[in-house]
Amino acid sequence: MSSQALQADHRTGAPWDTGQQGIQIRNLNKSFGKKHVLKDITVDFAPNRVHGLLGANGVGKTTLMAVILNHKFRSSGEVLIDGEDPRENAKVLERTCFIHEDQKFHDDDTPTSLLRILPRFYPEWDAALAERLASRFRLPMGTRTVKLSRGQRSALAIVIGLASRAPYTFMDEPYLGLDPAHRSLFYEEFAREIAEHPRTVILSTHLIDEVSDLLENVVMLEDGQVTLNADIDHARDSAFVLRGLEPVVRELVGERQVLREHRLGNILSVTVDGSATDDDHRRAAQSNVSVEPVTLQELVAARGMRGMDNAEMSL
């Protein structure tokens, strides 16, 4: 076991056993009828890291998470969690938690009844944490979930996702309906939890700049395939923006791949695939062109545009 995977449990002082081997996916395919959504995906999600699963609407993020956890059947390919196939594998599945956008609950459940029942399903459940988070999110504990607002249902799902302490936690746009103050609260509690109890998190989100400080790794889906799996700093370094008068910007871009461009008056901004070289910086300075880093949000928007034939953009 790596030292990174072994943390002290702050309550008991006992070693904190986290996800250790991560998730390995090989040649994974998923089709719905004739629609081929996941196309021969091979990717590893390293253990004990927070992975942002990013991409345009409809590109297959939810499907990928659901197929990893066998909530949806794969068409072909291999998935291993901690070295084991999760299909009908209770030992693996009890180490996972999946919270969905617009999480559904049984109508008759209340936050109180759920927080009483769920520890049976999550061996690492922390009841004190669940109570503290429920109180911070001001959940009406006795109200049936059918009567909760959308934001309150999201808050309840977040409480469950964090309190489960599942070594493999999947969060699919978990903040829907949360107002900015409650989203900030989620980010604060998430950061605290992950620092104290590292685990492997796969978080899909469109609020990329808002969550980028929480992410350690970025996995980008485009047109059913993984086109980027990189440390967040490398991801940011995988493209750059040249901004200036069109002829000089075009000359600087040369033959390189353009991810996106837009014009404001006679100023052209081009997002270029790859890293800016020392030569780019020197030539740009001589021609009055600025070389700017991309934000993660811009990067996903720029790359996502290329998948527009199969996915709608919402970034």
Ligand X SMILES: Nc1ncnc2c1ncn2[C@@H]1O[C@H](COP(=O)(O)OP(=O)(O)OP(=O)(O)O)[C@@H](O)[C@H]1O
The residue ranges that bind ligand X (CB under 6 A) are: 32, 35, 37, 55, 57-63
Closer to ligand X by Cβ: residue 54 or 139? 54
Judged by beta carbon, residue 37 or residue 41, the one nearer ligand X is 37
Least separation in angstroms between residue 174's CB and ligand X is: 12
Beta bridge partners of 36: 31
> For residues 110 and 205, which CB has a smaller minimum distance to ligand X in the complex?
205
- Residue number, 100 or 165, with CB nearest to ligand X: 100
DSSP letters, 155-220, are: HHHHHHHHHT--SEEEEESTTTT--HHHHHHHHHHHHHHHHHS--EEEEE-S-HHHHGGG-SEEEE
Is 10 in contact with 3 (CB distance < 8 Å)? no
CB closer to ligand X out of 59 and 130: 59
Q: Phi-psi region for residue 297, left (φ > 0), alpha (ψ -120 to 50) or beta?
A: alpha
CA-CA distance, 56 to 306, in Å (whole number)? 10
Q: How far is the CB of 73 from ligand X (least distance, A)?
A: 11
Which CB, 37 or 81, lies closer to ligand X?
A: 37
Nearest Cα to Cα of residue 225 among 83, 28, 90, 5? 28
The least distance separating ligand X from the CB of residue 202, rounded to whole angstroms, comes to 12
CA 118 – CA 123 distance, rounded (Å): 9
Nearest distance in Å: CB 204, ligand X: 6
Name the minimum Å distance from CB 53 to ligand X.
Answer: 8
The string of DSSP codes covering 2-65 is -GGGEEE-TTT-SEEE---S-EEEEEEEEEETTEEEEEEEEEEE-TT-EEEEE--BTSSHHHHH
Beta carbon of residue 14, minimum distance to ligand X (angstroms, whole number): 37
